[in-house]
Amino acid sequence: MSEIASFNDFLQRMAGIEDVSVPWLGALREEARTLFAGSGLPTRRVEAWKYSDLSRALALAARDSGPARPTPSPPGAHTVLFENGALAEGKSAPAEAGAMPLRNVLADPQTPFAKLIGHVYPQKDHAILNLNTALMEDGLVLHVRPNTTLPAPLFIRHDWEGEGARTPEGRHLRLLIVLDDGAEATVIEAHSGSPGFSTVVTEVALAAGARLNHIRFERFGAAARQSAVTLAEVKSSASYKGFYLSEGGLFCRHEALLRLSGKDAQADLGGIFLTAEGRHCDNTIVITHAGPDTASRQIFRGALSGDSRGVFQGCVRVRPEAQGADARQLSRALLLSRQAEAAIKPELEILADNVKCSHGATTGELDPAALFYLRARGIPEAKARELLIEAFLAEVIAALESEALRACAEAFVSDWLSGQTNEIPHAR
Amino acid sequence: MSPQALICNGSGPENVMLEIEDLHASVQGKEILKGLSLKICPGEVHAIMGPNGAGKSTTSYMLAGRDGYEVTSGQVRFNGEDLLSLKPEERAANGIFLAFQYPLEIPGVSTLNFLKTAVNAQAKLRGEPLLDAVQFMRLVRETAKLLNVSEEMLKRPLNVGFSGGEKKRNEVLQMALLKPALAILDETDSGLDIDALKLVAEGVNKLRSPSRSFLVITHYQRLLDYIVPDYVHILADGRIVRSGDKSLALRLEEQGYDALIGKAA
């Protein structure tokens, strides 16, 4: 198993899947397969993939990067465990968490979710999405009924470890979250370890007045390769709150493609990427305002050390029908080494007249004057740097409403920082 | 008579806390300090006055250990030890405190968290027991009350949105908590109105003790009405050109730098 996940591996694997007994799935896969075979894997010639070279990352031999370090989970959450992309049946009970295994849904010719899987927010030309649709096997479906609140946060834990994490055709997971009118839920997707290659597609359908807190914790190993996509359709007065915290990996990309389709629909995104030597982390956001008085907010912060690369592409599209839209975006990157690289690209495409849109992007280093101030008070350099980096990230974490989740995020960040201490060169 | 002959009542070198000897230092290749010498004994208050560009801020930053200040010759001893080889945090733990002319605003770091981190970092470097949250809160509340620092100020991010006076009072609070042997006040009067200045000076005076020394760096005599020095030195073009008692500051105020520096030259 020297090389994994080439284009041909994917096609071969796709050809081996038969879904004759489930016509809706057969048709869905067939279309995805055809589109994927036509488009191939995304290349850097495509604008959206300019800063993330998937083919190059896939050509490198898969390796092991040590045991997975689990991410902190909030107390009281219902955990569903996936090991190397497969639901760990004996160790988790999705039904107790209010969820169904995707396998069961895919095997059901009559499932009501047939009209949602692959159709929540269709993107015909999205190669990763098509790849995932053609090959998805495992995952979860969460359906919360009208005016119901999921009693406990759903914590979906993905551990990627050992040989099983590095199958030739990769592992492809699908999560479908359906919140009916006025329903509420908190869903946490947590990854640790190093998938050889995986795709994760999370489809989110929020009906009127529904509220979802969607958290992603990516504590990957250095060899991890993952391309993930979150697709959300947000109807009137519904709210999607996303919080994405990632250490990146050999190749890690998460796209959030959100459509605010109903009046007063909201998307509120916070993101932190913390990358060390040899890592790549790409956050690509496209928010489409398609309903009147819709609001979106994006706050992203990145701290990059070693020779790592962090990417933030944040695009806001305001359709002509989205009068009264309010869109804000702020992204800041902190370069902790001379070799680190940040690619920050805000984009606005406004087709309505009466809108409020703002964006800001900065890249900088730790302020030497602030560092000296702290050191002059007796705080050692490494600790002073930690304090300043935590301060830089604090605003994003503070926006999380749940104290338990804030504690998880803080623990995640402080763990990353303590791992960095050794790499910090001392000026004196 | 050498300017140094005036100062340090102590008879032997064992009584000298800070000794700067013929110090030459450059910033970005430009020599700023050109033979600075100064001795400070425990309990003394020294003032350094000088025109803009004389090297006042360089002196304070060089003593506190800021990057970018290159010592080309001379030495600095603090309690008999070479000071210049130490990192800023080690100097702080050894008892040097610099009250900044412009204290930094650091959003995202709460004043309380910063104070606790600093107090315990110094204790750790000195091998002393650390304070727990309860002990620390008791200490900080008592000290803040003594220095007119409100609880509300302590909860805000460090210096963010503080007025000039609040920032300087916060510096004095840090000084009180960190209990330095030598406090360097770098143009503490800048940006303060007379009421704020009095309040800050009052705080400093509360911290005077026979074992604690002060180096007050200022452009104007005004501050020295409230923090009365034992010795006054005039710094011009990188070295001390005149030393005297507090009356020197008054003469300076009357006659101006040009007259006095001219006389010395």
- Condensed to tens digits (0 to 9), the pLDDT of residues B210-226 reads 999 999 999 888 999 99
pLDDT at residue number A399: 93
- Who contacts A129 (Cβ-Cβ below 8 Å, separation ≥6)? A32, A123, A201, A229, A231
pLDDT at residue number B191: 83
pLDDT at residue number B148: 83
Q: Which of B16, B7, B99, B91 is nearest to B46 (CA)?
A: B7
Residues of B with CB under 8 A from a CB of A: 64-67, 87-89, 91-93, 97-98, 100, 103-104, 106-109, 113-114, 117-118, 121-122, 125, 157, 174, 178
pLDDT at residue number A169: 83
Average pLDDT, chain B: 90
Q: Do A387 and B114 touch (CB under 8 A)?
A: yes
- Pull the structure tokens for residue A22: 């489930």
Query: What confidence tens digit (pLDDT) does each residue in A63-107 have?
Result: 777 777 888 889 999 999 999 999 998 888 888 888 999 999 999
Q: A301 and A272 in contact (C-beta within 8 Å)?
A: yes
The residues that bridge with A177 in the sheet, in sequence order, are A142, A204
Q: B26 and B55 in contact (C-beta within 8 Å)?
A: no
Reported residue count of chain A is 428
pLDDT at residue number B76: 97
Residues in chain A with CB shorter than 8 Å from the CB of B174 are: 377
Alpha-carbon distance A50 to nearest alpha carbon in chain B (angstroms): 33
Q: Report the DSSP pairing between strands A239-246 and A211-220.
A: parallel
Q: Do A372 and B88 touch (CB under 8 A)?
A: yes
Phi, psi dihedral angles at A99 (to 5 degrees):
-120, 165
Query: What confidence tens digit (pLDDT) does each residue in B5-32 have?
Result: 445 544 445 589 999 999 999 999 999 9
Asked whether residue A3 carries a pLDDT value surpassing 80, the answer given is no
Asked whether residue A6 carries a pLDDT value surpassing 60, the answer given is yes
pLDDT at residue number A107: 95
Query: pLDDT grade, residue B264 (50/70/90)?
Result: low
Rounded to 5°, angle at Cα A153 from A151 and A158: 140
Residues in chain A with CB shorter than 8 Å from the CB of B171 are: none
State the pTM of this model: 0.90
Q: Which of A390, A378, A385 is nearest to A427 (CA)?
A: A385
pLDDT at residue number A60: 84
Rounded to 5°, angle at Cα B88 from B110 and B53: 100
Query: What confidence tens digit (pLDDT) does each residue in A362-380 have?
Result: 999 999 999 999 999 999 9
pLDDT at residue number A4: 56
Residues in chain B with CB shorter than 8 Å from the CB of A272 are: none
Alpha-carbon distance A358 to nearest alpha carbon in chain B (angstroms): 22
Q: B212 and B29 in contact (C-beta within 8 Å)?
A: no
pLDDT at residue number A5: 62
Query: pLDDT grade, residue A108 (50/70/90)?
Result: very high
Give the integer Cα–Cα distance in Å for A375 and B160.
Answer: 19
Average pLDDT on B98-123 reads 94
Asked whether residue A425 carries a pLDDT value surpassing 90, the answer given is no
The residues that bridge with A349 in the sheet, in sequence order, are A317
pLDDT at residue number A423: 47
Query: pLDDT grade, residue B143 (50/70/90)?
Result: very high
- Who contacts B177 (Cβ-Cβ below 8 Å, separation ≥6)? B115, B118, B119, B139, B140, B143
Q: Which of B92, B103, B104 sits opposite A378 (nearest CB)?
A: B92
Query: What confidence tens digit (pLDDT) does each residue in A120-146 have?
Result: 999 999 999 999 999 999 999 999 999
Average pLDDT on A204-229 reads 97
3-state secondary structure of B105: coil
Q: Which of B106, B157, B178 sits opposite A378 (nearest CB)?
A: B178
3-state secondary structure of B63: helix
Residues in chain B with CB shorter than 8 Å from the CB of A367 are: 104
Query: What confidence tens digit (pLDDT) does each residue in A171-186 have?
Result: 999 999 999 999 999 9
pLDDT at residue number A419: 84
Query: pLDDT grade, residue A62 (50/70/90)?
Result: confident
Q: Burial level of B87, CB count in 10 A (0-12/13-18/19+)?
A: middle
Asked whether residue A194 carries a pLDDT value surpassing 80, the answer given is yes
Asked whether residue B198 carries a pLDDT value surpassing 60, the answer given is yes
pLDDT at residue number B114: 95
Residues in chain A with CB shorter than 8 Å from the CB of B91 are: 376
Percentage of residues of chain A with pLDDT beyond 90? 82
Q: Which of A225, A207, A237, A11 is nearest to A127 (CA)?
A: A11
- Who contacts A61 (Cβ-Cβ below 8 Å, separation ≥6)? A2, A3
ipTM of the complex: 0.93
Asked whether residue A418 carries a pLDDT value surpassing 50, the answer given is yes
Residue of chain B nearest A369, judged by CA positions: B104
Query: pLDDT grade, residue A428 (50/70/90)?
Result: very low
> Please, what sign has the CA dihedral across residues B173, B176, B180, B186?
positive
pLDDT at residue number A7: 81
